[in-house]
Structure 1
Amino acid sequence: MRVGLLAEAQDAAPVRAGWAVRFQESLRDRRRMVEATAQDAMGLQYLFTTGAGPSVPLYRGFLGRYQQAMKPPAGKSQTKPPEPEKPGCYEQLVGGPIQLLFCKPWATSTALVFACCKDGGPQPGKVIVPVRKVYIVLNKIVLTRLDSGVELPALAFNMSLDFQSWTWNWTASLHRDAALHLGRDADGDPAQFLANVNGVPFKLRLERTSRDRRFLPQERWSVSGRSLAAVLAEPWAKSMPFGSPNQTLTAQQLAAEVLRVNGVSIGWGIDWQLVDWQVPAGAWTLQGSYIDAINDIAAAAGGYVQPHNTDQVLRILPKYPAAPWHWGDVVPDFEVPSAVAEVEGTEFVDKPDYNRVFVGGMSAGVFGPITRAGTAGDLIAPQVTHALITDSTVHRLRGLAELADTGRQARVSLSMQVLPETGVILPGQFVRYRGNEAVQGIVRSTSVSWAAPKVRQTLEVETHA
């Protein structure tokens, strides 16, 4: 008995609405006509004229300086060669006046200095090593004990010095028979030797000895030490107080007072090569040895201490005799060609490109900025103070030393012989190396190496980009 079902849905009757299309078939005869503004080009001829025509040979007479050779007559005569034409200082422009050229910019002076401003290129060095096919050097290094005069031939020898060292450091290898001559002198002090390096003498002190006994035929003695200036440092010199006396002295006089005891010299002198300046009374004090005090005085002006080769003299030298940006005008001490020296290596050093630094004293003196000329002075280096920066002279010297040691640098190592023309080249001297590219800089370290029969000196040259 099922209940009847009533459905509300029925089969749908399709009802289609009429479609309307907005597009119709295009008519091909309704296209717009295309018009072109260009037509076939036509050649246009233009009359061309020139002022040149066929050349005509022009013959000009000339007079020669030479004549037919002849046998010279009897007697003695000397022919003077013609003098080369000297280039002028100023060149006149075609159709224009001669222009006045000033070599240096105007300063505070009102005086006008007229000079030849034509650049003749880099100036030749004070010592020029000539280019030769062969360099023959008789290498010889002999150690002579000064108190006895005994000569000890060195089987191997090395010595070195840099601008931060105030004494030479040396080592040598001697034959076993030299053991009898390696003791101290009659006063109990280290023995002194005269080292002759291809004719260049150096006085050295023997401080350490050791025996190298591997096999009996090859028994050797290894010795080492420093130069004479070692007596000014510990342990040979005790620590003591130093200071400026109760009167105004110059820095050079103050350095000389350091090497005195109760007004009596200890036997050492000063070769002062810095610009001197005034030091007020009581402005400086120091506790240390003799060499500590001398180093401190030199460092105040951006200088350093270098020992003399044979004498009891300390040389006080500037770290930068001229600013690196003016090294192109410096006449080098030695000009070395690539035929005699070789580049062992180049080390690039990048330092901040400072152009301004504040320098001043401590209890007395001056204080202020030093700015490199021609720069904005916007890159400031760390501040520098020292008790001996007491006037404008040392203020400027120390500022120059701080700003010169900046920017991109290169340390070039040159290896060469100890030639008679050069000898041993010391730190602080300018060298120009003429290789594929000319390199000019200042020597910062020197080392001499001897391994019979070969002697080489290696120079580290500081250059600036």
Structure 2
Amino acid sequence: MPYLIPSPVFADFNLEASEYRPPADPMAVNFNILDSGEIPIQYPIPPGIMVTSSLAVELTSSAPVSSSGVGYSMTPAQKAVRRTLRVAMASKQFDGRSPQQWDKVVAKDEPITEGVQPWRAAAVKGPGANASGWDPVAIKDARRGGPAQAWDSSIRPIDQESGQGYGYPRAKDVIDRQSSIDSATYWEPEPAAILDGYAPGASDFNLISRPYNVPSAAVTDFNLDRHTRIIPPVIPTRPLFSDLDLQGWTTNKPADNRFRHPWDDKPRKGTEVDFDYDQQPPLPGDPPDEPEIKRTYIIMNSSSLIATAENMPLEFSDLTIELDIDSFAWKMSCSILNRQSMDLIRPTAQGPAEVIATVNGHQWRFIVERYSLDKRFAKERWRITGVSRPQLLAGPYAPKRTGRIDQPTNMALAMTNQVEFTGFTVALQDGLYDYVIPAGAWGYEGKTAMEVISELAAAVGAVVIPDRTDDILHIYHRYKQTPPWYYPGLAESDLDAVIQDSMVTGYSSQWEPQPEYNYVFVSGITDGVSTEVIRQGSAGDQAAPDIYDELNVEAQQCRLRGITALSAGGNQEIVTIETILPTSGSPGLIVPAMLVEYRDTRDSSATWRGNVLGVSINVSKPGASRVIQNVKVERHHY
């Protein structure tokens, strides 16, 4: 027969006849597990229950009372149920906050007498203790005087002192005056804590007395099993063989001194202050030679050009020797007047020829790099050019290399390493700051030795000035480590040369204004420091282009580099002074990076100072011919 859906009060699952169709109301489902419906189910009469305001439950007398107040006799089945309930309820200690057998389940968030909400903290039942299902859970990080909770051992301050002998170690910064009793050798583990699991009892599934009605989802709790959790002991971290518990950063004491003085302590690593004891300010130098004031200057010039291989003089004319501040080698050009002289300086299998030029006692050594022939009017004339020997450290003579600083190295040592095994040496200007490059802070790729040296010098605002005859590279600061606006206040001992107007045969000027900056930002890239260089007394509102370089590693080095950047700007003129080149005395041979003073003997207010940008010496022909020294000076107007 087909299955008929019963009334919505309950549902009977009879699966013998046809398929089951769920009722429309899911709350009306009732599980009748009996074999058939022939024998009617007789539910025993529930015992009388008296509920007081304190939720205490008491059983009535042996005889139930009807609604009319008349007693009646119970059936044997009712008496059996009564005995079962009496035994179960007598073994259970009722709590006013706990739901009873036939009572209403208490709300979860209902306040309790202790003022703690059930979901804040609940005390865990101790072994053998009867706790209600919704007892407050203790706060994890608080002590309530009872046993430790099963889940609170994960949050403990590591350095907190414990009162137990086997607890956590003492604070690291506290000196322990005891011997090594707390070492790991004598350590005994703390007994493992065995705690009961969480066993709530808000709902009681009793299917004996009457059919079970599913409570609302808000108060249902599933108590499936009682668990036991074992907390492993925490082994304290202690040295295996330790003496007194001293600080790990104690200072180094003298081994053979009983007394401790304030100057015995050595600062912690990384806090030492390095003083540049080897970089003391240089002593004041001697002032330049004072020019002699005469009505007439008589100069006996002498000049020659000699091939070094045969030590033979050459017939030449129009000899020019020059150097500018951004070049690292002197340059020479002249005309060779006959074939015999030219044959002495032609290149051979050993390489290019070398010549020595001498002008009024000043010598230069050059390598002849190229020549050209001019044949006109039945005359042969060769034009040759040459450079000084420092050109051998650059292309095309020197190979390109790649490297990186792998240990702290100062600038002078880094330059010396570039000219190792070449015969060249590096000489720094007196007082030039020698900065230190940290390990791994800087490297070079595909550069010759001269390119690397020039880069190292530019990082401190310096230039490479080659020696005239020897294989020496002089490193001079472009502005003598002093900005031009301080030139008028410098002492005469800071000057390198004095050019008096009575010794000047020519004077020309070219106005070349540049942006006037008073601020520049100098910074490293991966290492180093960041420095703001501001002209003293200015607002620092005219910023020059930022300078980023891996060699910006020290504040003093960045300051000198910033001085060079700020000194190049402002109103300035390039003055070319044509003067003599005496064998001795003022003005002498002037080279780039010198600080010179142009002295006007008729008007002292017209005297000014500037730094040399370049020099050129012109000789018309060998012997006692005319010699002219042309000096290019950068003059600033403030």
Output one character per residue of 1:182-207: Cα deviation in whole Å (capped at 9) or x when no partner. 2235x521111111011101111111
Amino acid at match of 1:267: G
Residue in 1 that maps onto 2:313: 151
Matched, 1:413 2:413: no
Q: How many Å apart are 1:219 and its aligned residue?
A: 2.0
Q: Distance in 2 between matches of 1:306 and 1:278?
A: 22
Q: How many Å apart are 1:239 and its aligned residue?
A: 1.3
Amino acid at match of 2:542: L
Residue in 2 that maps onto 1:229: 390
Q: Distance in 1 between matches of 2:428 and 2:343?
A: 40
Residue in 1 that maps onto 2:589: 424
Q: Is the 8 A contact 1:355 1:372 kept in 2?
A: yes
Residue in 2 that maps onto 1:255: 415
Q: Distance in 2 between matches of 1:305 and 1:311?
A: 14
Q: How many Å apart are 1:125 and its aligned residue?
A: 5.0
Amino acid at match of 2:593: G
What SS does the corresponding residue of 1:339 show, helix, strand or coil?
helix
Q: Is the 8 A contact 1:242 1:258 kept in 2?
A: no
Q: Is the 8 A contact 1:194 1:201 kept in 2?
A: yes
Q: How many Å apart are 1:242 and its aligned residue?
A: 3.1
- TM-score of the pair, normalised by structure 1: 0.70
Q: Distance in 1 between matches of 2:404 and 2:388?
A: 27
Matched, 1:320 2:479: yes
Task: State how many pairs are aligned.
Answer: 336
Alignment of 1:106-255 (within 5 A): 125-176=287-338, 177-184=340-347, 188-216=350-378, 218-244=379-405, 246-255=406-415
Q: How many Å apart are 1:424 and its aligned residue?
A: 2.2
Q: Is the 8 A contact 2:328 2:466 kept in 1?
A: yes
Residue in 2 that maps onto 1:283: 441
Q: Is the 8 A contact 1:359 1:367 kept in 2?
A: yes
Residue in 2 that maps onto 1:27: none
Candidates 534, 538, 546, aligned match of 1:375? 538
Amino acid at match of 1:173: S
Q: How many Å apart are 1:142 and its aligned residue?
A: 0.9
The answer to which of 342-351 and 413-422 deviates more is 342-351
Output one character per residue of 1:355-389: Cα deviation in whole Å (capped at 9) or x when no partner. 11110111100013111111111111110011111
Amino acid at match of 1:455: V
What SS does the corresponding residue of 2:376 show, helix, strand or coil?
coil
Q: Distance in 1 between matches of 2:300 and 2:381?
A: 25
Amino acid at match of 1:316: I
Q: Unaligned 5+ residue runs, structure 2?
A: 1-284
Name the Cα RMSD after superposition.
1.7
Q: Is the 8 A contact 1:178 1:221 kept in 2?
A: no
Q: Distance in 1 between matches of 2:476 and 2:362?
A: 21
Q: How many Å apart are 1:140 and its aligned residue?
A: 2.2
Q: Distance in 2 between matches of 1:457 and 1:238?
A: 35
Q: Distance in 2 between matches of 1:432 and 1:395?
A: 28
Q: Distance in 2 between matches of 1:150 and 1:390?
A: 51
Residue in 2 that maps onto 1:100: none
Task: For CA contacts below 8 A with separation 6 or more, give which structure has more relative contact order.
Answer: 1
Q: Distance in 1 between matches of 2:447 and 2:460?
A: 20
Q: How many Å apart are 1:343 and its aligned residue?
A: 4.1
Q: 1:343 to 1:464 in 2, by over 3 A?
A: farther
Candidates 579, 598, 604, aligned match of 1:433? 598
Residue in 2 that maps onto 1:459: 631
Q: Is the 8 A contact 1:234 1:289 kept in 2?
A: yes
Alignment of 1:39-54 (within 5 A): none
Residue in 1 that maps onto 2:99: none
Q: Distance in 2 between matches of 1:333 and 1:272?
A: 16
Q: Is the 8 A contact 1:200 1:423 kept in 2?
A: no
Q: Distance in 2 between matches of 1:382 and 1:159?
A: 35
Alignment of 1:377-416 (within 5 A): 377-416=540-579
Amino acid at match of 2:448: S
Residue in 2 that maps onto 1:269: 425
Q: Distance in 2 between matches of 1:368 and 1:463?
A: 28
Identity of aligned residues (%): 28
Output one character per residue of 1:251-302: Cα deviation in whole Å (capped at 9) or x when no partner. 1111111112xxxx22110011221011011211112111111111111111
Q: Is the 8 A contact 1:213 1:219 kept in 2?
A: yes
Amino acid at match of 2:511: F
Q: Distance in 2 between matches of 1:404 and 1:170?
A: 30
Q: Distance in 1 between matches of 2:580 and 2:342?
A: 30
Q: Is the 8 A contact 2:524 2:548 kept in 1?
A: yes
Q: How many Å apart are 1:397 and its aligned residue?
A: 1.0
- TM-score of the pair, normalised by structure 2: 0.51
Amino acid at match of 1:334: A
Matched, 1:303 2:462: yes
Q: Distance in 1 between matches of 2:289 and 2:316?
A: 30
Q: Distance in 2 between matches of 1:387 and 1:346?
A: 38
Q: Distance in 2 between matches of 1:434 and 1:398?
A: 30
Q: Is the 8 A contact 2:479 2:564 kept in 1?
A: yes
Amino acid at match of 1:248: P
Residue in 2 that maps onto 1:359: 522
Q: Distance in 1 between matches of 2:321 and 2:578?
A: 15
Amino acid at match of 1:457: Q
Name which one, 1 or 2, has greater alpha-carbon Rg.
Answer: 2
Residue in 2 that maps onto 1:6: none
Amino acid at match of 1:429: M
Q: Is the 8 A contact 1:128 1:336 kept in 2?
A: no
Q: Is the 8 A contact 1:127 1:333 kept in 2?
A: no
Output one character per residue of 1:61-114: Cα deviation in whole Å (capped at 9) or x when no partner. xxxxxxxxxxxxxxxxxxxxxxxxxxxxxxxxxxxxxxxxxxxxxxxxxxxxxx
Output one character per residue of 1:391-433: Cα deviation in whole Å (capped at 9) or x when no partner. 1121111111111112111111100111122432111112212
Q: Is the 8 A contact 2:315 2:341 kept in 1?
A: no
Q: Distance in 2 between matches of 1:390 and 1:377?
A: 23
Q: How many Å apart are 1:340 and its aligned residue?
A: 1.0
Following TM superposition, the consecutive aligned residue runs of length 4 or more in structure 1 with deviations greater than 6 angstroms are none
Q: Distance in 2 between matches of 1:242 and 1:415?
A: 45
What SS does the corresponding residue of 1:275 show, helix, strand or coil?
coil
Residue in 1 that maps onto 2:26: none
What SS does the corresponding residue of 1:379 show, helix, strand or coil?
coil
Q: Distance in 2 between matches of 1:292 and 1:459?
A: 26
